[in-house]
A and B are shown apart, each in its own frame.
Chain A
Amino acid sequence: MPKLSSLDEFESFQKKIKESRDPKKVVISISSGTCGRTRGSAKVVEAFKQAIISCKDKLSIRVTGCHGFCDAEPNVIIFPEEIFYKNLKPKDVTEIVESTLKGEIIDNLVVSQNEEKFVHVSEIPFYKNQMRIILGNNPLIDPTNIEDYIAVGGYGALDKALKMKPEEIIKEIKCSGLRGRGGAGFQTGKKWEITRKQKGDVKYIICNADEGDPGAYMDRSLLEGNPHSVIEGMIISAYSIGANEGWIYVRNEYPLAIKHVTIAIEQAKELGLSGKNILGLEFNFDIKVVKGAGAFICGEETALIHSIEGLRGVPRQRPPFPAEQGLFGKPTNINNVETYANVPQIIKRGADWFASIGTKTSKGTKIFSLVGKVKNTGLIEVPMGMTLREVIFDVGGGSFNGKRIKAVQTGGPSGGCIPLELFDLPVDYESLTNAGSIMGSGGMIVMDEDTCMVDIAKYFANFLQDESCGKCVPCREGIWHMFQILADITEGKGKEEDLQLLEELGNVIKATSLCGLGQTAPNGVLSSIKYFKDEYFAHIRDKKCPAGVCKPLIEYTIDAEKCTGCGLCKKNCPADAIVGELKEPHSITQDGCIKCGICHDVCKYGAVTIS
């Protein structure tokens, strides 16, 4: 690769790459992020490599990051027609290659919903209702090849930004209304401005990629699939703030993201887009990758800074904010992965374009990881202000097994549960906060009537008491006691006054904790008490779990009419608690039953009931 030493050289290099690409060439883009690989995409990739040897001139393959549709993994998109094939196995590969060469479509591999078939990406309901500004490039880019990124217009925003004054860039970001995508939603432009105005020559940039929420993987997918967009955002940020060094703090549990981002940094440096004298200008910017050591709390900015400094990852009281006194005591701008990925788009297409998407207070799009009891699970990108109903029923396709969806939990473990009645709520920072939840980094867990809200509140309280750093009393002790009280309730030992105590405790933890973890931790408990009080009463007063989840409160019985006496449950019962002769109705001896639920899962006739 040549080292580019001026803006003109970059522009001609970009032109050359764009011209060398034939838009009509058939390219099979294989989704192979971490999620795809766990479902066997690596074998599919190997099979494709073998299959195309004989026809390399007619079609090529591209191994990319995640395409977002988790349910369909491993999947391919065949360009230029954008044909989508789902759930592939290595044996399907030859057929795909052959039919693609003939221009045919394989019917049983396309997405179907309600007996309707969708061949092209733009027709699939999951994609149709989204606005994929940031994720949209993932299928077009091999993340280990910088030229792919440049071919789709990448680093064009940097080229444009380097011709602007730093103040102009900040003004552009401010006008766009971009807010931090890590959860708190602080105005990004304002943060940059504060950092720029600080005295001193040494300033730092940090990219927060310590994504620890269970069931959320927005940042991973971006770093794996399109690392250059994040790096480009960081370089623009560094130029406008006046920083010369940057860090990307990635959790160690994301090896593929670390690999791709490290390769991307090296390639950008080789090309002269980062490092010393970027594109021949008097502007140096180096990026280092730091691996986290597995603490959830290090996603909090001050704890993250301590961790980079080599100290124990605990937060400290703000003010002073990192923008005033951050890494090594110097002014530091710290943003989330998704925030940085938005920056090149804003610079390229203008603040007005960005501000035209979304609601009055929340602009642009937001990536969510839509998981739980919906048909189409995956990584979605929707404009701010879309209602929860549209997200869950139009994009997500509604319930996966026909049961009634009753709530959605947004914002990861610290988020609250929003009931079905409030599903017309537009998704933006303010609406979610007012409903008792948070935007968070973008987790969205859908729950149906089989989910016990007390159990969910207990699960998240347990996660948070374990991940609390332990520095401040309300968070360390408060969440622990919260978990104990909830555990008592799920075991049928709850008292009526416990609810009041939980609410009082929750409000104090929220108001007095040191950092964002404690300040949002009680959301799950408080919102479930607010919206699902009847479930708590059922546990406390009637000693029953309506969803049939809390083991001490349920009993498994066998319906004698439905039981055919096949003996499958008896064979599988680990406690030998099922009695009955073959072809005669069986029964469960309650004393011996350990409530593992295996009999319920294995019964083909639905004869095992939970009461």
Chain B
Amino acid sequence: MPKITIDGIDFDAPRGWTILDVAKFLGIEIPTLCYHEGLSPWGGCRLCLVEIQEGENTKLVTSCTYPVRERLVVRTATKRVVEARKLILELMIAQCPTSKVLQDLAAKMGLERVRFKPKWEDCIYCGLCVRICEEQMMAKAIGFVDRGNKLKITTPFDKASEECRRCGACLYICPACTLRCEGPEPENVLCGRCYNELQPTCLDFYDNYTCWMGLKGECGTCIREKPEEKKEGQK
């Protein structure tokens, strides 16, 4: 088994695992988008980038496609990695601001602005639908057409496909079209409202507020230090 070091943790990784497999096993969080456990790795969205050591230099590679090898040294959250992920997410949000999955990711990663002209497209070309159709549904009813900025996902010749059984797997797996975000506006395409509002809010007093889970502080998320004094201060 190849010995690898990931974020300072030494690990004997089983042969054939990718860096992402190891990170998941160890509970190290790496954001992903075009990756799905049941499908072959694609390496298109580039969000799962990690930094690996190569000789005297380091290099950014996608963890979902990179197989572990002997003495591999990986860092998953260096400044370079985080900045690259943010810019890539910025590009993706500019392309499809109405994807809730992307907006949530942006809020989570702390993306503050989008400097590119939004394109308001409906698809982010992650290829999940194409792969699920081919690999799990054995249909190959849809595929990529054309290239570059004219790329699209469709049935052959844009005609209704005889291979399509209307199973809906493509819709089920799509991170862009099923969950729509209504928040983005032309001036600022970032929304992130859902993600921010649905987080445990950690109030240190509850009387006038309703916990988002309907609890009264039993979960232990909130700090309960001297509630009386805080209450007075608030008033």
Binding site for B on A (CB under 8 A): 295, 297, 312, 314, 316-317, 319-320, 465-474, 476-478, 480-481, 484, 501, 504-505, 508, 511-514
Contacts and interface: CB of A to CB of B under 8 A. Distances in A.
B11 interface: no
Given A317-B62, A317-B65, A508 B144 contact: no
A216 to B, nearest CB: 20
A481 B149 contact: no
B14 interface: no
A471 B65 CA distance: 14
B95 interface: yes
Given A473-B92, A505-B87, A481 B117 contact: yes
B43 A317 contact: yes
Interface residues of B, number: 37
12 contacts: A319-B67, A468-B149, A470-B148, A471-B43, A472-B44, A473-B92, A476-B125, A477-B116, A481-B116, A511-B84, A512-B49, A513-B46
A320 B65 CA distance: 10
B66 interface: yes
B143 interface: yes
Given A295-B147, A470-B144, A514 B44 contact: yes
Given A484-B117, A505-B87, A472 B147 contact: no
A334 to B, nearest CB: 20
A312 B41 CA distance: 16
- Determine which residue in A467, A469, A470, A484 has the highest number of CB atoms from chain B within 10 A of its CB, and name it: A470
B23 interface: no
A295 B65 CA distance: 25
B148 A468 contact: yes
A407 B72 CA distance: 42
B157 to A, nearest CB: 15
Contact of B151 (A295, A474, A476): A476
Contact of B94 (A314, A481, A512): A481
Nearest to B145: A312
Interface string B137-152: 0000001101111010
A501 B115 contact: yes
B88 interface: yes
Contact of A481 (B61, B80, B91): B91
A312 B46 contact: no
Contact of B88 (A316, A471, A480, A508): A508
- Determine which residue in A472, A480, A508, A513 has the highest number of CB atoms from chain B within 10 A of its CB, and name it: A508
Contacts of B143: 312
A296 to B, nearest CB: 9
A469 B84 contact: no
Contacts of B124: 473
B44 A477 contact: no
A488 to B, nearest CB: 9
A316 B62 CA distance: 11
B147 A474 contact: no
A298 to B, nearest CB: 11
Interface string B81-104: 001100110011011000000000
A318 to B, nearest CB: 9
A471 B44 contact: yes
A320 B67 contact: yes
Given A467-B148, A512-B60, A316 B117 contact: no
Contacts of B149: 465-466, 468, 470, 476, 480
A574 B144 CA distance: 43
- Determine which residue in B67, B84, B91, B144 has the highest number of CB atoms from chain A within 10 A of its CB, and name it: B91
B128 to A, nearest CB: 13
- Determine which residue in B91, B124, B144, B147 has the highest number of CB atoms from chain A within 10 A of its CB, and name it: B147
B148 A473 contact: no
Contacts of B125: 470-471, 476
- Determine which residue in A320, A505, A513 has the highest number of CB atoms from chain B within 10 A of its CB, and name it: A505
Contacts of A467: 147-148
A468 B147 CA distance: 6
Contacts of B13: none
Contacts of A470: 125, 144, 146-149, 151
Given A481-B117, A508-B88, A512-B60, A476 B46 contact: no
Given A470-B146, A484-B117, 10 more contacts: A319-B67, A470-B151, A472-B45, A474-B88, A476-B125, A477-B94, A478-B91, A481-B117, A511-B59, A512-B49
A122 B35 CA distance: 61
- Determine which residue in A295, A481, A484, A512 has the highest number of CB atoms from chain B within 10 A of its CB, and name it: A512
A568 B118 CA distance: 47
B66 A477 contact: no
Contact of B148 (A312, A469, A474, A508): A469
Interface in B164-221: none
Contacts of A471: 42-44, 125, 127
A476 B124 CA distance: 11
A297 B148 CA distance: 10
Interface in B103-121: 115-117
Contact of B144 (A297, A312, A317): A312
